[in-house]
Chains A and B, each alone.
Chain A
């Protein structure tokens, strides 16, 4: 009985990683929609965390996001980012929106990760926060992302996005990955959005954008 209760009220490290990845996936999808980087007719609504979220149906985007973010299929088929997350190698992830023609960085969404809890990378270690509260927090952040459109400058050029992962230097780089230069925005303004915590991971979301004056 005791174990059952624990499993009901608490969250495992794996589950936390999955939540973080889900948040990133839906966050990035809704940013893509809200910022108008891809045409709005290529999105469909899905229900997640009690919110209706617009998820891209563009196969190219899905092909990119699937190996990077989603997908803990089965018990051991974990993708590399989740592995890094579990090994506490990731410092932050940033979604860089840049002008296709000039490669100029227009906007950067930083998802900063902090590792809370005991600090061991045992995938079955357990947090002490209820799932419903975590989901509520994530929902709040996603809502806030949707509301940022009201003040962010209009992206009036063809844009594309990239996902950069800031890891520790002792990480092996897989074949499909490569090192890249960090992207800075000259003359930027920042806004820190709400953060959420799964009691094992803490996620701060910051958006920096080119101030136009």
Chain B
């Protein structure tokens, strides 16, 4: 079975191969259609195979299983077969798909080709149409050509005609030209005729000239006539003037006639002149008389005026006299009245004594009396005032006394109160005394029971109780102010209190004043702080060294120095220019400035010299003063001190016998050392005592002076005694 099956399968494959080989064996120049057919064939074949395959399977399924191994193999084969079937089916499907695709491609190509065919057909149609059109056009063009040819021919003919015409015209024009030339000749002839006219013109001019001459003649005639007219006019003017003169003359004549009349009248007047003169003289005389009269009347008038003024004055005087009389009467009345008064006042007076002097005397007396009385009155008033003052003082004293009485009563009251308190205290004290006595008694009782310890305990308790009682009483006293005993100290305390109060007030016032001061000072501090003040102790003022201000200042200094130099240079230049140096001006100036600098050096040298002189003087002064100092040391301390080299000092005593007797000291690191000298060897004992034991140079020196002094005085005394003895 398996073999058959294998054969079956291989059979199918073989068939397929055969088919393929058949296909291959067919000629290659197959059309598409034939291939299609072959594919169809293959499809058919596959279908056939499927059909052939399925019965095989069915057969295999139907066959009974003989053994498990075989069944497994069969199953395997079956599975293989199924797989193969599946692959074949897939293949079939792919082939089918391929076929479909190829169909579609074929159809597409077919439609594309058909489309192409249609397109080409359309093209052919279009081309046919074009051809037809072209042919039509060709015929048309031929026709046109013909017509154009015809036209051309006609045009040629026309041209020919035109040329002929033109030639004709040319001929005509030539003719015209000839005619024109002929005309020209005619015109030339005409010009000749014009010359004739010129001649005529000349003739006319001649006539014109003759006319002009005539006119000139006429104008000259006219001028003559005008001149004549002018002369006539002049004559007329002359006539007028002559007439005027005649009139004037007539007027003059009239005036002359009048004058003649006047003259006649004058003549008549002159005839009367003598009589007139006589009259005149008489009139003059009259005038003189009148003038005298006038003068007299004036004099009289003056007199009248003076008399009137006098009269007025007299009237005034009369009035005054009347007034004076009345006054006199009044005064006489008064006088009488005064005299009466005088009589009345001064009883022992006769009428002859009634003079004002007496009255005055009397009045003076009265005044004196009055003054005296006034003085007395004043004194009395002062007495009264004094008494009043005394009274007031007395009253004040009385009041004081009353006050004192009141104070006394108060004190009394206080004293009474004090007495009461004292009584109370006495009462308390007596009570205390009794208490203490009781205590004493109890103590005595207890003392009698000696050795009883319990008794001591009870005693202690009693004592404690007593102490407590005292304490409570003390508290009572302290708390109750009425128990407090005011003593004589009270007043003092009050005074102290008052004093303290006053002090307190003063202190408060002071405090206020200080506070005010404080606020003032604070204000001042604020103001100062605003002004830029600060506490110097608590601050440091720092600034950057290279600040713009210092830089600016240095810059300014440098510039100043430069400017000064320049000024000097310029000054020198001006000097040089004034001196008339013009060549090498700058060089000269530089040289001069340099010399100026050397001058400065000289100046400095001079300064140095003066300084040296000063130094010398100082040295001299120093020497002098040191000399004085040494002398004063010599006189005061008795030693001449010479400073030597190497800090050595030589001391020579005032009382030394020889100059070589001296001590040498050396200053070495702050301490003096005695050096050995011939003189020092002589006083070795002294040195050992004062320097060795006492270690004091001043003591040595002073003892030395005393020693030397005593020796010298001894010698002196010895000398003097010797001298005295010698004298004796």
A residues with a Cβ closer than 8 A to B are 60-61, 63-64, 67-68, 91-92, 94, 96, 98, 100-101, 103, 108, 110, 158, 160-169, 171, 173, 176-185, 188, 190, 192, 206, 208
Contacts and interface: CB of A to CB of B under 8 A. Distances in A.
Contacts of B537: 169
A168 B547 CA distance: 21
B532 A110 contact: yes
B530 A166 contact: no
Contacts of A182: 532, 534, 541
Nearest to A98: B549
Contact of A184 (B530, B532, B543, B552): B532
B29 interface: no
A160 B549 contact: yes
B532 A181 contact: no
B544 A179 contact: no
Nearest to A181: B541
A13 B541 CA distance: 24
A162 B540 contact: no
Contact of B545 (A110, A167, A176): A176
A139 B530 CA distance: 23
Contact of A171 (B540, B550, B553): B540
Interface in B520-538: 530-532, 534, 537-538
23 contacts: A68-B544, A91-B534, A92-B534, A96-B549, A101-B556, A158-B552, A161-B547, A163-B543, A164-B541, A166-B542, A169-B538, A173-B540, A176-B545, A177-B543, A178-B543, A179-B541, A179-B542, A182-B541, A185-B532, A188-B531, A190-B530, A206-B530, A208-B531
B530 to A, nearest CB: 5
Contacts of B540: 166-169, 171, 173, 179
Given A94-B532, A160-B549, A208-B531, 10 more contacts: A100-B549, A103-B553, A160-B552, A162-B550, A163-B544, A164-B543, A167-B540, A169-B537, A188-B531, A192-B530
B541 to A, nearest CB: 5
A165 B543 contact: yes
B534 to A, nearest CB: 6
A192 B543 CA distance: 23
B548 A108 contact: no
A86 to B, nearest CB: 16
A100 B552 contact: yes
A81 to B, nearest CB: 9
Contact of B544 (A61, A171, A177): A177
A108 B537 CA distance: 22
A68 B548 CA distance: 12
Interface in B253-291: none
A165 B544 CA distance: 9
A165 B556 contact: no
Nearest to A166: B539
B271 to A, nearest CB: 116
Contacts of B551: 60, 160
Interface of B: 530-532, 534, 537-553, 555-556
Main secondary structure of the interface of B (DSSP, over half): mixed
B542 A164 contact: yes
Contacts of A173: 540, 542
Contacts of A179: 540-542
A161 B548 contact: yes
A110 B533 CA distance: 11
Nearest to A177: B542
Contacts of B543: 162-165, 177-178, 180
B181 to A, nearest CB: 102
A158 B540 CA distance: 28
Contacts of A176: 544-546
Contacts of B556: 100-101, 158
Contact of B547 (A64, A108, A206): A64
Nearest to B529: A112
B542 A178 contact: yes
A208 B541 contact: no
Nearest to B552: A160
A10 to B, nearest CB: 31
Contacts of A64: 544, 546-548
Contacts of A162: 543, 547-550
A61 B544 CA distance: 12
B541 A161 contact: no
A168 B531 contact: no
A165 B542 contact: yes
A169 B530 CA distance: 21
Contact of B539 (A67, A163, A168): A168
Contact of A160 (B531, B542, B545, B553): B553
A181 B540 CA distance: 9
Given A169-B539, A190-B530, A161 B549 contact: yes
Contacts of A91: 534, 539
Contact of A166 (B541, B548, B550, B552): B541
Contacts of A94: 532
9 tightest A-B contacts by CB? A160-B552, A162-B549, A160-B549, A100-B552, A162-B547, A164-B543, A190-B530, A160-B548, A180-B543
A108 B532 contact: yes
A165 B546 CA distance: 14
A192 B546 CA distance: 29
Given A160-B549, A163-B547, A168 B538 contact: yes
A168 B537 CA distance: 9
A171 B542 contact: yes
A67 B545 CA distance: 12
Contacts of B532: 94, 108, 110, 182-185, 188, 208
A192 B527 CA distance: 11
A101 B559 CA distance: 11
Contacts of B542: 164-167, 171, 173, 177-180
A60 B552 CA distance: 11
Nearest to B556: A100
B650 to A, nearest CB: 53
A60 B544 CA distance: 13
A173 to B, nearest CB: 6
Nearest to B539: A166
Contacts of A181: 541
A160 B550 CA distance: 8
B539 to A, nearest CB: 5
A161 B547 CA distance: 8
A67 B531 CA distance: 28
A188 B540 CA distance: 23
B541 A61 contact: no
B392 to A, nearest CB: 66
A171 B542 CA distance: 10
Nearest to A38: B548
Contacts of A185: 532
Contacts of A190: 530-531
Nearest to A170: B540
A96 B549 CA distance: 9
A77 to B, nearest CB: 18
Nearest to A183: B532
B545 A177 contact: yes
A63 B546 CA distance: 9
Contacts of A68: 544
A92 B555 CA distance: 29
Contacts of A164: 541-543
Contacts of A92: 534
B360 to A, nearest CB: 80
Contacts of B544: 64, 67-68, 163, 176-177
A176 B548 CA distance: 14
A164 B530 CA distance: 16
Contacts of B552: 100, 158, 160
Contacts of B553: 100, 103, 160
B165 to A, nearest CB: 101
A165 B530 CA distance: 16
A169 B556 CA distance: 33
Contacts of A60: 548, 551
Contacts of B548: 60-61, 64, 160-162
